[in-house]
Amino acid sequence: MKITDFKRMMAEGIPHEMPALKSYDQNLNHAPKRKDILNSVEKRLAIKNALRYFPERFHPLLAKEFAYELATYGRIYMYRFRPDYVIKARHIDDFPYRTRSAAAIMLMISNNLDITVAQHPHELITYGGNGAVFQNWAQYRLTMKYLSEMTEEQTLVIYSGHPLGLFPSTKDAPRLVVTNGMVIPNYSSQDHWEKFNALGVSQYSQMTAGSYMYIGPQGIVHGTTITLLNAARMTGKSDNGLKCKLFVSSGLGGMSGAQPKAASIAGIISVIAEVNQKALKTRHSQGWVDEVFSDLNSLVKRVRKATAEKKAISIAYEGNVVDVWEKFADENIYVDLGSDQTSLHNPWSGGYYPAGLSFEESNRMITENPEKFKDAVRKSLRRQVEAINRHTARGTYFFDYGNAFLLEASRAGGDILKPDGEFKYPSYVQDIMGPVCFDFGFGPFRWVCCSNEPSDLEVTDKIAIDVLRKLIKKSPDQIKQQMNDNIHWIKDAGKNRLVVGSQARILYADAEGRIEIASAFNNAISEDKISAPVVIGRDHHDVSGTDSPYRETSNIYDGSKFTADMAVQNVIGDSFRGATWVSLHNGGGVGWGEVINGGFGMVLDGTPDTETKLRRMLHWDVNNGIARRSWARNKAAMFTLKREMERTPDLNVTIPYIADDEIIDEALKGV
C-alpha cells in the first residue's frame, strides 16, 4: 500500500460508503463471549447507542448487524468497520498529522492494536483479557481522524474509548486527555462493568492498554527480573543473595511466562510448572524456557545437577505445581525462592488446575460438575500450602505474586494464616516493590523511538547506560543496588531481544534518573543523534500512578490505602506540567472497582520548551507518590523526600512527626 493511500485511510473516519462485511478470522485469538447481561430494554439502548456513530441511511442494515453481534459476542465491536490496512507502529511521519504529537499518539495506539502485540486485536483488547483500547471500531476510526486534524491549540477528549471531540486549548495543554471506566463509586462491581460495557458507555482498560503505553512482554520481564533479584537478596546476604539460587513457581501463560526468562537474566535457576501443554510449548519455542521435563525423577536429577554446577538454567515441568512442591520436599531439594503465578484471581473457571486431575479432566469438570471442581481446587490448594510450609520451615522465601494465591488458599482452609489473622507470607509489593523500589522513587520508566528504527533504540540504550553510570557515582548507598540492577539490565537489553512491536525500552529509575535520561534523549534529538522524536511514559504500576490497596499501595499502613487521591492528583498534576497526554483508569490487574490508576505520555522533540516540560512533569510524577508514602511514615520515602527537598528549594512538603506507641498505649488505658 502506498503511504499516501495509508494516510488517506487513516484520516478517513467513518466512511461515506458502507465497507464490505469482514469475515471472522479464525486464526486470531478472540475475546470470549461476554456475559448476556442486558434486559430487552437495555439491548435496544445498546443498539441505539452504537448507531449514533453512523448516518441514518446505514441504520437499517447496521441495526441488524449490531443486534447479531450483541447476541453472539455479548458486545458490539462493529467488525465491519475494522480498517483494511495493517495496524502497527510505523515511522512517525508515515501517519497523517498537523502536529507531530498527534502522530506519536497514533503510533502508540497502532502498536497497542498490532495483531502481533495485542491479545484479542479484532476486539480491540491489548492484554489481560479485557484491557480495551476502544470499545468498537467506530471509536478507533473517529479518534484517528481527530488526531490527523488536531492542531497545537486543541485537545482531544476521550471517554472510555469514545472520542468526545476536539476542544480549543493551548499549546502547553495536553493534546489528549483519556479517562477509562470512571464511574460513580457505588456502581463499580464486576456486573456494572459488564452492563456499561455492553451498553457501549464505559470500558475496562487495564493500565497501559487504554493509555496507549503497552510495549509487549518486555515490561513484565523487566518487572519480574527486578522482583526476583530483590527476592533473592532476602534469602542470604553473604553472597549478596545472587549465587545461582533455585526458584520454584507455576505458570507459563501471559504474564507468568516471563518468570523463566527473567530468572535467567537474574542468574537464577528456575523450575516453573505448567499444566497446559500449549502454553508450555509457546514459551519453549520462544526460547523463554530452556528445558522441559514431564517426569519428576528426571526433573529432580536435572535440578541437582544445575544447583551443583551453579548454572542458571530455566526448566519447565509439564504438570501440576503441587506435585513439584511435594516431590522437592520429599527429596530434600532446597528451594531458595518460591511463588505461584496460576491465575487464582479466577479460581473456578480454569485459572487454577487442581492436582490429581489432568488438564483435560479439569476442563471437563469445570462445565460438567462445577461444585466437584471447586472441591478439587480447594483440596489442591490445601496440599500446595502444606508442601510450601515444609519448604519455608527449612528457609525458603515464599511470596505472593499478586495472583490472589494467599487469599484463595486461606479461603480453601489452607494453613496460611498467622494467629493474628494475617497471612504467613508477604506479597511481592509489600516486601519488595514497595519498600525496595517505589518508596525510593524507582519505577517502570519507558520510552518508544518514533522512527521505529532499531538503530535509534540502540542509541537510546547507550545514552541511558551513560546517564545511570554517571548518576550512580553520587548516589547514596540506599539506592546503589537499584541503580546497578538497571545498569545491568539495560546493558544486556538489546542482546536479550525483547522488542515486540514498537522500538521500546523499559528500566526502573527514580525521579532524578528519569529526568536525566529524558533530558539526554531530548538533547540527542536536537543534535540529530536520534533521528526522530521519542515518546516517554511509564507503566501505571508505579510510585505515584496507582492506588490499589492489595498491590501498589499495599505497603501503606496509615489506613489511607483505600483512598485514591494520589492517583487522581498525579494525572491532574502531570497534565498541567507538560504531559502530551494523560489517562486515568478504574480497574487494572486486580479488577474493576479495586484500583484507580493513571499515566502519561510525553513526546520529546528536541526543543528547549520540551526540556522545561520534562523536568517539571517528571519531578512531580515521582515526587507526588514519594510525598504520600512519606506522609504514611514509610522510612525509605521519608529519606527520599528529605533528599529531594535539599536538591529542590521550591519543594516544601509536610513531614510527619512519629508518635511513640507507648504514649498512645498509655493514653488509651482506661478509656
Ligand X SMILES: NC(=O)c1ccc[n+]([C@@H]2O[C@H](COP(=O)([O-])OP(=O)(O)OC[C@H]3O[C@@H](n4cnc5c(N)ncnc54)[C@H](O)[C@@H]3O)[C@@H](O)[C@H]2O)c1
Residues 272, 315 contacting (CB under 8 angstroms): yes
Applying CB under 6 A, which of residues 88, 115, 153, 276 lies at the interface with ligand X?
276
| Contact between 401 and ligand X per CB under 6 A | yes
Residue 345 CB, nearest distance to ligand X (Å)?
A: 4
Nearer to ligand X, 281 or 529 (CB): 281
| Contact between 250 and ligand X per CB under 6 A | yes
Count CB atoms within 10 A of the CB of residue 62: 22
Give the C-alpha separation, 510 to 571, whole Å.
18
Specify the stretch interacting with ligand X by CB under 6 A; choose among 153-161, 204-212, 267-275, 522-530: 267-275
Specify the stretch interacting with ligand X by CB under 6 A; choose among 289-297, 335-343, 389-397, 481-489: 335-343
DSSP 417: B
Residue 116 CB, nearest distance to ligand X (Å)?
A: 18
Applying CB under 6 A, which of residues 223, 578, 599, 601 lies at the interface with ligand X?
223
| Contact between 435 and ligand X per CB under 6 A | no
Give the C-alpha separation, 332 to 327, whole Å.
8
Burial class of residue 505 in the structure, from the number of CB atoms within 10 Å of its CB (0-12 exposed, 13-18 middle, 19+ buried) = buried
Specify the stretch interacting with ligand X by CB under 6 A; choose among 92-100, 396-404, 494-502, 607-615: 396-404
Applying CB under 6 A, which of residues 275, 437, 493, 638 lies at the interface with ligand X?
275
**Amino acid (1-letter code) at residue 242:** L
Applying CB under 6 A, which of residues 111, 155, 205, 403 lies at the interface with ligand X?
403
| Contact between 536 and ligand X per CB under 6 A | no
Nearer to ligand X, 76 or 220 (CB): 220
With contacts defined by CB under 6 A, how many residues of the chain interact with ligand X?
Answer: 28
Specify the stretch interacting with ligand X by CB under 6 A; choose among 38-46, 111-119, 343-351, 609-617: 343-351
Specify the stretch interacting with ligand X by CB under 6 A; choose among 28-36, 70-78, 270-278, 298-306: 270-278
| Contact between 320 and ligand X per CB under 6 A | yes
| Contact between 208 and ligand X per CB under 6 A | no
| Contact between 407 and ligand X per CB under 6 A | no
DSSP 578: T
| Contact between 253 and ligand X per CB under 6 A | yes
| Contact between 218 and ligand X per CB under 6 A | no
Applying CB under 6 A, which of residues 188, 205, 256, 544 lies at the interface with ligand X?
256
| Contact between 251 and ligand X per CB under 6 A | yes
Residue 373 CB, nearest distance to ligand X (Å)?
A: 12
Specify the stretch interacting with ligand X by CB under 6 A; choose among 65-73, 159-167, 273-281, 597-605: 273-281
| Contact between 273 and ligand X per CB under 6 A | yes
Burial pattern 438-473, b for ≥16 Cβ within 10 A else e, equals bbbbbbbbbbbbbbbeeebbebbbebbbebbeebbe
Q: Please, what is the angle between helix 608-631 and helix 635-647, to 10°?
A: 140
* Residue from 196, 229, 434 nearest 337 by CA: 229
Nearer to ligand X, 496 or 519 (CB): 496
Residues 84, 136 contacting (CB under 8 angstroms): no
| Contact between 338 and ligand X per CB under 6 A | no
Q: Return the residue nearest ligand X (CB atom).
A: 253
Residues 176, 154 contacting (CB under 8 angstroms): no
Nearer to ligand X, 139 or 342 (CB): 342
Residue 62 CB, nearest distance to ligand X (Å)?
A: 35
Cα-based angle 495, 499, 504 (whole degrees, multiple of 5):
110
Applying CB under 6 A, which of residues 402, 426, 598, 601 lies at the interface with ligand X?
402
* Residue from 585, 604, 535, 616 nearest 179 by CA: 585
Residue 138 CB, nearest distance to ligand X (Å)?
A: 29
Site residues (CB under 6 A) for ligand X, limited to 573-602: 589
Applying CB under 6 A, which of residues 353, 489, 592, 620 lies at the interface with ligand X?
353
Kindly provide the residue ranges of all beta strands, DSSP E only, lying in 492-630, ordered along the sequence.
504-509, 534-538, 546-547, 581-586, 596-604
Residues 313, 306 contacting (CB under 8 angstroms): yes
Secondary element (H or E) of residue 125? strand 125-127
| Contact between 190 and ligand X per CB under 6 A | no
Nearer to ligand X, 163 or 588 (CB): 588
DSSP string, 224-288: HHHHHHHHHHTT-TTTTT-SS-EEEEE--STTTTHHHHHHHHTT-EEEEEES-HHHHHHHHHTTS
Which residues, 6 or more positions from 327, have their beta carbon under 8 angstroms from its beta carbon?
A: 296, 299, 300
Give the C-alpha separation, 400 to 88, whole Å.
35
| Contact between 254 and ligand X per CB under 6 A | yes
Nearer to ligand X, 201 or 279 (CB): 279
Residue 433 CB, nearest distance to ligand X (Å)?
A: 9
Nearer to ligand X, 372 or 470 (CB): 372
Which residues, 6 or more positions from 600, have their beta carbon under 8 angstroms from its beta carbon?
A: 537, 538, 571, 574, 575, 579, 580, 581, 582, 583, 617, 621
Count CB atoms within 10 A of the CB of residue 531: 15
Specify the stretch interacting with ligand X by CB under 6 A; choose among 184-192, 340-348, 436-444, 577-585: 340-348
Residues 433, 200 contacting (CB under 8 angstroms): no
Which residues, 6 or more positions from 657, have their beta carbon under 8 angstroms from its beta carbon?
A: none
Specify the stretch interacting with ligand X by CB under 6 A; choose among 92-100, 271-279, 445-453, 600-608: 271-279
Burial class of residue 646 in the structure, from the number of CB atoms within 10 Å of its CB (0-12 exposed, 13-18 middle, 19+ buried) = exposed
Applying CB under 6 A, which of residues 54, 134, 137, 352 lies at the interface with ligand X?
352
Nearer to ligand X, 396 or 623 (CB): 396
| Contact between 224 and ligand X per CB under 6 A | yes
DSSP string, 509-544: E-HHHHHHHHHHHHHHHHTTSSSS-EEEEE-SSSTT
- The x, y and z cell numbers of residue 504, run together, are 521500546
Specify the stretch interacting with ligand X by CB under 6 A; choose among 244-252, 307-315, 433-441, 468-476: 244-252
Computed from CA positions of residues 206, 584, 490, 508, in that sequence, does the dihedral angle turn out positive or negative? negative
Which chain residues interact with ligand X by CB under 6 A?
220, 223-224, 250-256, 273-276, 279, 320-321, 341-345, 352-353, 401-403, 589
